[in-house]
Amino acid sequence: MWFTIEGDRAWLLGARCPACGTVCFPPKAGPCPNPRCPAEALEETRLSRRGRVWSYTNSCYPPPEPFVAARPYTPVTLAAVELEEEGIVVLGQVKDLTVGELAVGMELELTHGALADGRPVWMWGKP
Amino acid sequence: MSHPIILGVGMHPWGKWGRPFVEYGVAAARAALRDAGIDWTDVQFLVGADTIRNGYPGFVAGATFAQALGWTGARIASCYAACASGAQALDIARARILAGLCDVALVVGADAAPKGFFKPVGGDRPDDPDWLRFRLLGATNPAYFALYARRRMALYGTTPEDFAAVKVKNARAGALNPNARYRKEVTAEEVLASPMVADPLRLMDICATSDGGAAVVLASESYARRLGVTRPVRVAAVSTVTPTFPNTVLELPAFATDSTAAVPPPERPFRAAVAHAAYEEAGLGPGDLSFAEVYDLSTALELDWVEDIGLCAPGEADRLLREGRTALGGRVPVNPSGGLASFGEAIPAQAIAQVCELTWQLRGAAGPRQVPGARVGLAVNQGLFGHGSAVIAVR
Ligand SMILES: [Zn+2]
């Protein structure tokens, strides 16, 4: 959902407006979210795989349902990562890094992992 | 534009009382009517701010409160705009009064909140971003507040000690407020020793969820004159604006910001735009404020708001705080009510409670937390999914 994997690489799938170049994540069909753009439909696009940390945090306590928390629980790390070309910030879980290892401005790369119930999800990780 | 008059205000104290939300709303409404010196049977229009966590009666709050007060044949409306619901309800009442369609309206909001983290409404809803952010990311509300807090630390050098100082300031004010849920002063050490919830925010940096109710009686100028009201508090502005594309703040519950690939960011980010629209409508500016009530969902967010409402430039709210200028006794007290830090959030009631505080302060009736000589007050707030909320009251 909203991402694709080829070999050992993952990409976020967004939507791009063919008229003005506005990008959205998650992807949507249309119309273009730019209120001054007349485009009715958007095209699927792969987002840049690397970006810089806009901010980050963690959940020290297990998040409530419908999240499926691992047992025993270890804090989920989250990062909001700024993609320069698209001009957007995308939130995701962080794989194998704790808040102590992150910093605003640090480069991260898209990867993927599984939630505690096995459902695959995009994640940010070390480049 | 003439300014509608706040004839009466009332609240049911915030807490965890375990009663139905209707009781809090009715208690607040009756207090506001007493304060206004009118009867429920005089009210021509009632607007209820909805709660989504209390079943059907919550979704039709206008009708629910009208029935609980006793059917009178009054016109009603119900509205929902998340945390901004109260301001929207006030705006609906104001519009009807200014249009000459009614002379006196009652605005009521109340909530009975569940324990712990806010979670999405139940069931499988893969098209609802509020459900999906929990399902896919485990991104709770405090997680978003923490992202803003960490960003602030990185941009401006704000420290956890600054965050703690916000809580200390607001707890001191809240201790003086009989409607507040938490009425105990706290020390910075206590805040810094409370458990980490979402790094860098600790338990005492984050607002709780509460039960509570608040109500306002709003009237036309001629109606107030007939009652012989002198020097009333007036609503000079209500701003309910949305963000302007592209919104570059990662808003709760979104997965991403808007894109700046085609259009540069707007002149004012969303929160600043919410306040700006209110200033424009009132013909006033930040320099005119005697005090402000801002939506301190976290201690860190209060500092952002202080800048967004123009009390100082971005990055300077920490200094204002350290110099005591936003505390009671300072040049422009922020959250003299004690803020969400002392109340906890009762969603549809909160923006109305802010207006109650504006009214008491402007009347000079706020007791030991009174801002001396208060003439202009601003209340700001932001609801999920792009709901701005700002009210300016003057006397
Ligand atoms: Zn477009």
Q: What is the mean pLDDT of residues B14-35?
A: 97
pLDDT band at B384 (very low <50, low <70, confident <90, very high): confident
Q: What is the mean pLDDT of residues B353-378?
A: 98
pLDDT band at B116 (very low <50, low <70, confident <90, very high): low
pLDDT over threshold 90, residue B2: no
Answer yes or no: do A80 and B147 touch at CB < 8 A. Answer: yes
Answer yes or no: do A36 and B117 touch at CB < 8 A. Answer: no
Q: What is the residue-averaged pLDDT of chain B?
A: 96
Percent residues over pLDDT 70 in chain B:
99
Strands B104-111 and B211-219, how do they pair?
Answer: antiparallel
CB B177 within 8 A of CB B224: no
**Burial classification of residue A20, based on how many CB atoms lie within 10 Å of its CB (0-12 exposed, 13-18 middle, 19 or more buried):** middle
Residue of B nearest to A124 (CA): B137
Instruction: Give the tokens for residue B223.
Output: 């109606």
Contacts of B55 (CB under 8 A, 6+ apart): none
Given this model, what pLDDT does residue B154 score? 98
Distance of alpha carbon B297 from alpha carbon A39, whole angstroms: 38
What SS3 class is residue B199?
coil
Distance from CA of B269 to the nearest CA of A (A): 15
Distance of alpha carbon B190 from alpha carbon B279, whole angstroms: 37
Domains of chain B: 5-116+211-232 (3.40.47.10), 129-205+235-394 (3.40.47.10)
Percent residues over pLDDT 90 in chain A:
95
Distance of alpha carbon A82 from alpha carbon A48, whole angstroms: 10
Distance of alpha carbon B141 from alpha carbon B131, whole angstroms: 12
DSSP string, B172-195: HHHTT-TT-S------HHHHHHSP
Strands A9-16 and B291-293, how do they pair?
Answer: unpaired
DSSP B123: S
Given this model, what pLDDT does residue B85 score? 97
Q: pTM value?
A: 0.96
Given this model, what pLDDT does residue B155 score? 98
Q: Using CB atoms, which residue from B197, B250, B263 is nearest to A89?
A: B250
Distance from CA of A119 to the nearest CA of B (A): 9
- Phi, psi at residue B286, to the nearest 5°? -55, -30
pLDDT band at B118 (very low <50, low <70, confident <90, very high): low
pLDDT band at B117 (very low <50, low <70, confident <90, very high): low
Answer yes or no: do A63 and B245 touch at CB < 8 A. Answer: no
Using the Cα atoms of residue B172, residue B296, residue B352 and residue B392 in order, give the sign of their dihedral: positive
pLDDT band at B1 (very low <50, low <70, confident <90, very high): low
Instruction: Give the tokens for residue B308.
Output: 């967004």
Which range (B117-131, B146-160, B308-322) has the least confidence? B117-131
Answer yes or no: do A20 and B246 touch at CB < 8 A. Answer: no
Query: What is the total residue count of chain A?
Result: 127
Compute, in angstroms, the gap from residue A15 CA to the centroid of ligand 1.
Answer: 10
pLDDT over threshold 90, residue B128: no
Answer yes or no: do A24 and B256 touch at CB < 8 A. Answer: yes
Given this model, what pLDDT does residue B120 score? 76
Compute, in angstroms, the gap from residue A37 CA to the centroid of ligand 1.
Answer: 5
- The 10s digit of each residue's pLDDT in B42-63 is 999 999 999 998 899 999 999 9
* Of A110 and B384, more confident: A110
Distance from CA of A18 to the nearest CA of B (A): 11
- The 10s digit of each residue's pLDDT in A26-82 is 999 989 999 999 999 999 999 999 999 999 999 999 999 999 999 999 999 999 999
Chain B residues touching A63 at Cβ < 8 A = 117, 134, 138-140, 143
Distance of alpha carbon B142 from alpha carbon B46, whole angstroms: 34
pLDDT over threshold 90, residue B9: yes
Q: How far is CA B6 from CA A70, B12, B53, B355, in A?
A: 52, 18, 29, 9
ipTM score of complex: 0.97
Compute, in angstroms, the gap from residue A20 CA to the centroid of ligand 1.
Answer: 4
Given this model, what pLDDT does residue B356 score? 98
Percent residues over pLDDT 90 in chain B:
93
Compute, in angstroms, the gap from residue B129 CA to the centroid of ligand 1.
Answer: 22
Angle at B122 between CA B117 and CA B125, to 5 degrees: 115
Answer yes or no: do B199 and A69 touch at CB < 8 A. Answer: no
Chain B residues touching A86 at Cβ < 8 A = 259, 261
Q: What is the mean pLDDT of residues B329-343?
A: 98
Chain B residues touching A3 at Cβ < 8 A = none
